[in-house]
Amino acid sequence: MITPNRELSAAIVRFEQQPGVSAQQVAQLRAALSSDEGMLRDLNQEALSGQLRGFAVQPATATPPSLIGSYDLASGVVTLPAASFQATGTAASPDLRAAIQVQEMSVRFGNSRYADPSNPAATLPVTQDMLNNLQGTINGSPALAAEVKRAATMRDPGDVTTPTRNHLENFGFISGISAGGTYDGPDKTMRLPAARLQSPPAGQYDATDMSFVLGHEIEHGFNYPRSRQANNALHTGAQAVAAQPGVVHDYTGTIRTFIQDSRNDEAEAEIAGWNAALSRLKQTNPSANLADMLNTGNPRMLDFVERDPATNTVRALVAPPGQPQLTFNADGTITATADNVAAMGRQYFDRPPVTPGPAVPGQRPLAVGERGSSDYPNYYGAHAIEVAIQAERTHAAAHPGVTHRMTVNMAGLNLSENLLEREGINIRTNPATPQPYYDSGQTPPALHHFNHTQNGSVNPAHDHQHVPIMPAPDAAHSPTTSSSLDALSPNDRAMHARIREGIAASVPDEAVTRAVQAAKLQGIERPEQIASSALVNDRLWVSSTVPGFVASVDVNARTTGQEASAQTPAQNDQRERAAAQQPAETQEAARSGPRM
């Protein structure tokens, strides 16, 4: 049995000697410290290292009252909420045990380091300002504080470690992805960007936004057992498809189930984020309503409410005909009912990706993923495609000479090879060989290929880049660079006419012809795949019906053989990264794990 070591015992004695501390409070503190062996082991280590040197009780008259306590780096003192101590008795209340669990994490986090953004090889220490902002955010929202304490003390029922771990055991920092926050399920870690914890002007801390982010990520923690099951089902389902004797191995249904589970998880997390932010707002404005939430100016609120143009009142986003409407409780909170989860899936998870060129009226693009260039279906879909490829190749290795067709209905799943490859596809078995697949969303199913793009191990130019199916033809000798429409095939003439519909007659046919070629190089191969065309600042943009496929040409190029006929994937990423410099949407870090 673990007991407090000499250093931790000395910290308890210093607590006992403080004016106003009762014998019952000391006994309750000792009981709380010994309530969890793992926590006590960590506290012993922190006391031994000098990081934890004492305890204190927040004055009962303090305003606002502390909900989880606080930790001071300089003194090494953890201050606990007065309300966590019971008036009589020696037993520790559940709230005191939870507050100490959270403070133990705070001590470790406060004494950790994060990557120096100006020097990747260096690290910087966490500051008191960063720690205050983290703990102040939680203390400022009763709903959030309750969820954090619950996550810190509730066991993950599916965890296989001994002893079983809680849903939240660590605070840490994001690396390798742009996000407002992440939840790492295998590590039980809430990860946050360092800059978002630093006060302005040096940092970007915003109490409302951080409340939303923490509420969102805590919900992912509670949902993690279900997400782990969804990932297991994805692997099992893919293996079952790969073992089918028929020629066609259609992974569409298995992938759809995984993406839908991910959609529900994200929707529930958004609802929790709203409730956490509203709870904070109500501490200073008890009557805070939907209009007050919108008036915070936080863009996340636009996924929930809008201003009625006719009445100027704030209302829930209007649902399309036949779709469930998001409904609010009388106090402004949202309950995660089936209809509300479906509505939030539509209003958040289904938002389109950021793409170059003109914005589509009424759409709010979403930039998520490892490079901030994806939408949620493709963010989660990349992992599902990886699992399907691995199942297909494992089965093929065990049954040599048997031919199967990996099949996916890309449009039916709202997947884009362009976005998937830019998100990063990790082909683990024989990554140098692209994976052929048939897109059953086309008639007849069309042959395409997934390439290994998770890193540059196969080709440095393919690192998080879309690899076109066909190499670019020699533009100088291609008939489609001619200004003569007679030189075009019937398909290309139809594409030419479709592009022409969206632009002024003053744009020369030669420029439209080059746009046809540019579109084909980017995977837009038929007229029905063209969603729109527009002229913006002397560039002719062509967008596909499949999100992520975009091409453009300079209408003022003097010769057809000298201009690159399409934005390269690298250029597309550069444009999208620039747009993603704004606060990124909340998301999980490890899409390739059991969720993230």
Sheet of 54-57, strands arranged across: 54-57, 77-80, 70-72
- Give me 267's structure tokens: 């929707």
- Give me 86's structure tokens: 């019971």
Residue 469 confidence (pLDDT): 62
* Distance (Å, whole) CA 449 – CA 431: 12
Instruction: Kindly give the pairing relationship between strand 113-116 and strand 119-125.
Output: antiparallel
Sheet of 539-544, strands arranged across: 530-536, 539-544, 550-554
| Series of mean pLDDT values for 10-residue runs along the chain (596 residues) | 95 96 97 94 97 93 89 98 95 98 98 92 97 97 98 93 90 82 94 96 96 98 96 97 94 98 98 98 96 96 96 96 97 98 97 75 82 90 98 90 91 95 95 95 93 95 84 37 64 87 83 87 82 83 74 68 32 35 34 37
Whose CA is closest to 138, among 176, 181, 174? Answer: 181
Q: Where are the beta strands (DSSP E) in 45-112?
A: 54-57, 70-72, 77-80
Residue 350 confidence (pLDDT): 95
Residue 357 confidence (pLDDT): 64
Residue 473 confidence (pLDDT): 40
Give the ranges where 61-169 is alpha helix by DSSP (H). Answer: 94-110, 128-139, 142-153
* Distance (Å, whole) CA 460 – CA 439: 27
In this structure, are residues 587 and 220 in contact, taking their beta carbons and an 8 Å threshold?
no
In this structure, are residues 398 and 564 in contact, taking their beta carbons and an 8 Å threshold?
no
* Distance (Å, whole) CA 464 – CA 564: 21
DSSP letter (8 states) at residue 447: E
